[in-house]
Chain A
């Protein structure tokens, strides 16, 4: 039977199932096939907080969303156009996110009375009218997989476990994905178990054939490749990109990287990844606590390494005293904060722009430092390089803000040529710099206001540093009132001296009267919302901050050019507070703190309202 082919511009698919159903792997494979086809894409996993939740339960549902298109993609998609539900729990947990007319592919084999009861269904949703308004494909995924593998030498359990590959094969057929990559992947993954490999490949192909031969699937879709820049790509999530960026910073600085870290969600993967990169000049140290993590990194910086620590909000709170010392010692240090919903333990696996306040102000005394934020998963790479540049050039701690949404979300990344990345080489002090051959450890460079980095082992430059206030130039402990006043102002001035590029504004029509200002991971949803508004003829300008301390010098001028400024944040207005305070601009704050990222649709509505009321 000839199937109808329908062309689509963009699709979002969500694979959902029990934690043990292999949904992350399935989604990841679908994303890889999609990337090779040349679509642009963005993905977001959603795992249960429990390590081993009871099977079939609502809180044990794991999902993976892939958004792909024939154009560039800014977000993992607001709501899925297609839901693959491997069991009743997956259906129930995700149904509310589906738009009308969405397609649902359900594994009918799992809709047993017992499984329905587990998640509170009193009647079978496949048999009543609760799914009216959706296109439902009823597929016996489990039994079809077992039947397809009848002739294979695998246990029934292993056959059943291959049902995710059956689902992947079916979806790959539906969306005309290339299959070679997945076949090769399965052969490699199960290289030591060739029978399992063969069974999984067969299940995958059976799923494909099921789509092609079953009348239930009358339509097949195609999404044309996007117009992507030529080059070599890889898929990265934010934590991977950040780890690559830190390695790159060390290599471009010709310095060893020392990471001191303590395990914490959602930042631990940075520690895991860097632990595997010893070959590239990285030493990792799993410290006894968050304080030792940052302390060891500062000790390594003192010794001439690029000291880095990675954490999330609760860890940042514990590190604050050491950050004050780092400010006082005027040494390079990079602090990565992968933000999560707080306060306290909060929602460890959920995202929030929770820590701008603590990053900017969370130290005793006035201890100014640089704060920057990453805007997309791949951008974490460049943000890490920029954090290192500031830390090394201006000899100060730099807080780099990522968040759970960026950490776990992934997108294709056009790999840079290392030679095109910034040159971060530094010069250690080797000679006395003062009169009479004396060394002045706190003699500051007139431009950067950075002090010399004289590492232990350098003859003739022996000196002492510490947390006590000091006299300028000599660095000797000083209680002289004028010395404290001078050093306080000098530390603030060094942050202001940082060379920061101007804030760029995107306003294609040039006549926008409303500016939407953001920072961090909201870049994708804000950008997607602005794009949709412009497609409908609504003018709106977008600007997104990488540097929050110091702010780019033109921010005041940019803000003054608009009638209205709106600041969407996944917090209760932390950047808005800074902007209103600093520029006396009556910015509108739009806030969301439910642990979920913004959808572009909600921002589209909010932004349009501001434009209409302007």
Chain B
């Protein structure tokens, strides 16, 4: 048996498979970021499992030298739930895309989140179907021209953060493929969280939706659109912090204002631990399809018992005094419980 090195490096997490994504794909950056982040977890490789669905992003497990399963389109959260519930000792990660998680597998995502299964769900959002060569996805902008929508999509897109919040998710965050430092910070927070973590990662598809997130990356534009959420800090953005987030004068939402024109006390101080999801929801609605006012970072992080810990608790309670019995004794006990009669 190979000894587990005490100190793992990114190299330990690379599998022997040749990585096959298109040149320029954002997945390379995410893979590299995750491989370099994994040693930080301090968890031996054999206790880590990546489960994916189908799509470009779902090739991920093949490239990580951990346990892994490349499963069926949309079903990764369901399969990961079975694994995590029966093996709470494992660190289980799900890798998915916008089509996989929000279209064909939407139902499983909702239910994994509401149960608070201890799995970390990485949803690469490139706003397009890549592996099937360029159809509109559930996060494609309204009106988007794609192979399947030659005169423009008529579908209103999902806001993935809002969907996750509506599903009772206890940890919801967003990050960007090209910003390794930020990606690491979000992964770190997600890994430390007990329960489901939903992380939307904006990811560039170089072939079918190239440059979709350039406005968030280009040094000339990013400061004016990117809102970096930091727990306990007033939400301001812009090159000199000239913009800020305040309450809407009407309704229950939030809006962007000029920092100079509002009293400091009216600027919202980010609090990811607000018990109810309404605050995080309104934050998620600041950004529009054009990516103006896009918050990144942790939207919501609240403590809730994990599903598997509660299942284990019930199992343990039921098994008190059963631990001393042999399996055959237990079976005999079960079969003879209740109404029986004897023929002599």
Q: Residues on A close to B: CB < 8 A?
A: 32, 35-36, 38, 228-235, 244, 247-248, 251-252, 254, 256, 258, 260, 277-281, 283, 285, 287-289, 291-292, 295-305, 307, 321-322, 325, 329, 415-419, 421, 430-431, 437, 455-468, 476-477
Contact = CB atoms under 8 A, between A and B. Distances in A.
B335 A252 contact: no
A288 B51 contact: no
Nearest to A229: B343
Contact of B83 (A303, A430, A468): A303
A466 B70 contact: yes
A292 B75 contact: yes
A101 B75 CA distance: 60
B311 interface: yes
Interface string B59-77: 0011011111111100100
8 contacts: A251-B328, A281-B319, A299-B82, A300-B83, A300-B86, A459-B4, A459-B45, A461-B46
B327 A228 contact: no
B67 A462 contact: yes
A283 B315 contact: yes
Contact of A302 (B1, B69, B89, B342): B69
A292 B107 contact: yes
Interface string B126-157: 00000000000000000000000000000000
Nearest to B83: A299
B327 A256 contact: no
A415 B343 CA distance: 11
Contact of B331 (A283, A304, A418, A455): A418
Given A295-B79, A457-B46, A460-B2, A244 B335 contact: yes
Contact of B80 (A235, A299, A419): A299
B44 interface: yes
Given A230-B344, A251-B330, A252-B327, A468 B81 contact: no
B47 interface: yes
A460 B331 contact: no
B72 A322 contact: yes
Contact of A288 (B4, B111, B330): B111
Contacts of B330: 251, 279-281
Contacts of B318: 278-279
Contact of B81 (A252, A277, A296, A322): A296
Contacts of B46: 456-462
A480 B287 CA distance: 47
Contacts of B322: 279-280
Q: Describe A's contact surface by its main secondary structure.
A: mixed
A456 B78 CA distance: 17
Contacts of B314: 278
Interface string B81-97: 11111110110000000
Nearest to A476: B17
Which 8 residue pairs of A and B lie closest in terms of their CB atoms, listed nearest first?
A466-B70, A299-B82, A296-B82, A295-B78, A278-B318, A292-B78, A251-B327, A299-B83
A484 to B, nearest CB: 17
Nearest to A275: B314
A310 to B, nearest CB: 14
B252 interface: no
A281 B315 CA distance: 8
A287 B78 CA distance: 8
B258 to A, nearest CB: 46
Contacts of A321: 72
Interface string B294-328: 00000000000000000100110011001000011
Contacts of A322: 72, 75
B90 A456 contact: yes
Nearest to A225: B343
Given A251-B328, A457-B89, 10 more contacts: A258-B86, A278-B319, A291-B75, A291-B78, A292-B107, A302-B69, A418-B331, A463-B68, A464-B68, A468-B70
A318 to B, nearest CB: 11
Nearest to B67: A456
Interface in B250-268: none
Given A291-B75, A459-B46, A307 B328 contact: no
Given A325-B71, A457-B90, A462-B66, A431 B107 contact: no
A288 B110 contact: yes
B4 A466 contact: no
Nearest to A28: B339
Nearest to A438: B16
A289 to B, nearest CB: 6
Contact of B2 (A289, A298, A437): A437
Contacts of B343: 38, 228-231, 233
B338 interface: yes
Determine which residue in B17, B75, B79, B330 has the highest number of CB atoms from chain A within 10 A of its CB, and name it.
B79
A299 B78 contact: yes
A463 B69 CA distance: 9
Contact of A467 (B70, B81, B315, B329): B70
Contact of B328 (A256, A279, A418): A418
Contacts of B54: 467
B108 interface: yes
A295 B72 contact: yes
A285 B112 CA distance: 12
B146 to A, nearest CB: 26
B331 A292 contact: no
A397 to B, nearest CB: 14
Nearest to B60: A464
Given A278-B318, A283-B315, A322-B72, A235 B339 contact: yes
A544 B87 CA distance: 40
Residue among B17, B318, B319 having the largest count of chain A Cβ atoms under 10 Å: B318
B6 interface: no
A233 B68 contact: no
B107 A234 contact: no
Contacts of B111: 287-288, 292
Given A279-B322, A458-B46, A468-B70, A232 B332 contact: no
Contacts of B240: none
Contacts of A305: 86
Interface string B1-42: 110100000000001010000000000000000000000000
Contacts of B339: 32, 234-235
Nearest to B330: A280
B87 A232 contact: no
A260 B322 CA distance: 23
